């Protein structure tokens, strides 16, 4: 079973009006027939539940993302749409939770929020026939803006939330994120991390500024991950982590998930202009990033997959040898060609994420 530590499934289903119970080919055909032009990836999507099953991706970290856009909050080179109040963002987050719950009711997905549920799901996914098995999901928050107050964090936790990334793009209520003009955690962000530690929620340091990253690690004593994070040594830019930051995650026993977005795989990639095929951006590139982390660590214990393949882009911004998320399975052969033993490939594909989940769900 493959684990993908970052998918925006509810965002795709609701913001894009995609019925993810249908195959990717049908979703593409429908969007082309309707001549949708509102997003660059229309007719080019790569993620749906049938393809997850076909690729053996049996467990995902499934996000809630609901931003608050306050133009008075700092300066930013990135400005993405957001709600005008935390209450609206919370309501949007609850809409996304409702979609995951409906997928559970239909038998398409199953929530993983404790160790017994994780063990049962792994047992169910043993063997080769995955066509009718539910995809397991760990509820994750990308950007904490929708947490109106600490009581709302507890309400999210009761709904199954087990991972929180305080930041996203631009300024945030709890932390500055990618593209911000600077800054780290806000006072509310520091309080949030303290409360997360009491609940033993995973801290996802993806999207934090450098300042916020080091501040968060100093303050937070619980388990740490970077769900979809590549290496600055290979692709310069603040969206990637420096070797020092990677070493800090390693020292905390954390895991970094290799992301498949082309602009995180090729230096100087221009979104909306460059073509992954012309630049020959292949799955091999993400293995370069995984290997770089492994060389820094001296082992294979701190990398996994955090594809972000439905993160508002499709085949126009994915490795050119990937058609759908089912092709994540080809990473195994690439790792094998690069000399990775089977036991280490299993760590990369699922074992390392299983370990950090054990830290928050109970058990070793």
Helix axes 243-251 and 284-297, enclosed angle (nearest 10): 60
Closest C-alpha among 273, 63, 262, 92 to residue 168? 63
The whole-number pLDDT of residue 174 equals 98
The whole-number pLDDT of residue 72 equals 65
| Residue 348 burial (CB count, 10 A) | 28
pTM: 0.96
The whole-number pLDDT of residue 339 equals 97
Triad 241, 243, 244: Cα angle to 5°: 95
DSSP state letter for 220: -
Interatomic CA distance for residues 52 and 133, integer angstroms: 10
The whole-number pLDDT of residue 75 equals 47
Closest C-alpha among 231, 360, 265, 251 to residue 301? 251
Domains parsed from the chain with CATH numbers: 2-361 (3.20.20.140)
Closest C-alpha among 199, 107, 116, 102 to residue 156? 199
The whole-number pLDDT of residue 364 equals 45
SS3 44: coil
Cβ-defined contacts of 158-161 (< 8 Å, 24+): 159/97, 160/111, 160/112, 160/113, 161/64, 161/201
Any residues with CB less than 8 A from the CB of 44 and at least 6 apart, and which?
28, 314, 315, 316
SS3 51: helix
Q: Which residues of 90-127 are buried (b: 16+ CB within 10 A; e: fewer)?
A: bebbeebbebbeebeeeebbbbbbeeebbeebbeebee
pLDDT mean for each 10 residues of the chain (364 residues): 98 96 98 94 97 97 94 58 94 98 98 97 89 96 98 98 96 94 93 98 97 98 97 97 98 98 97 96 98 98 98 96 98 98 98 96 69
Triad 335, 341, 343: Cα angle to 5°: 110
The whole-number pLDDT of residue 73 equals 57
């Amino acid at each position: 079973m493959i684990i993908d530590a970052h998918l925006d499934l509810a965002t795709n289903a609701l913001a894009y009006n995609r019925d993810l119970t249908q195959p990717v080919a049908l979703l593409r055909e429908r969007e082309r027939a309707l001549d949708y032009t509102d997003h660059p990836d229309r007719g080019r999507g790569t993620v749906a539940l049938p393809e997850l099953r076909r690729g053996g991706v049996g467990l995902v970290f499934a996000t809630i993302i609901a931003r608050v856009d306050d133009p008075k909050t700092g300066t930013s080179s990135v400005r993405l749409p957001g709600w005008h109040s935390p209450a609206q963002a919370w309501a949007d987050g609850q809409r996304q939770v409702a979609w995951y719950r409906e997928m559970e009711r239909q038998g398409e997905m199953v929530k993983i929020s404790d160790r017994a549920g994780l063990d049962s799901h792994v047992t169910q996914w043993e063997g080769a026939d995955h066509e009718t098995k539910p995809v397991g999901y760990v509820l994750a928050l990308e950007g904490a803006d929708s947490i109106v107050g600490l009581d709302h964090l507890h309400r999210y936790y009761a709904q199954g939330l087990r991972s929180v990334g305080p930041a996203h793009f631009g300024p945030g209520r709890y932390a500055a994120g990618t593209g911000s003009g600077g800054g780290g955690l806000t006072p509310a962000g520091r309080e949030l991390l303290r409360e997360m530690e009491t609940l033993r929620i995973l801290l996802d340091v993806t999207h934090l500024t450098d300042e916020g990253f080091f501040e968060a690690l100093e303050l937070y004593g619980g388990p740490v991950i970077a769900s979809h994070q590549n290496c600055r040594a290979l692709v310069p830019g603040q969206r990637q982590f420096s070797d020092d930051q990677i070493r800090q995650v390693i020292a905390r026993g954390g895991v970094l998930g290799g992301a498949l977005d082309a602009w995180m795989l090729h230096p100087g990639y221009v979104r909306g202009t460059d073509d992954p095929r012309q630049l020959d951006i292949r799955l091999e590139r993400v293995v370069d990033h995984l290997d770089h982390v492994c060389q820094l660590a001296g082992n294979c214990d701190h990398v996994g997959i955090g594809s972000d393949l439905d993160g508002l882009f499709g085949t126009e911004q994915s490795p050119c040898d990937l058609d759908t998320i089912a092709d994540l399975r080809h990473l195994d052969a690439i790792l094998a060609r690069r000399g990775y033993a089977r036991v280490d490939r299993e760590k990369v594909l699922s074992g390392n994420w299983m370990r950090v989940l054990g830290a928050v769900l109970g058990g070793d």
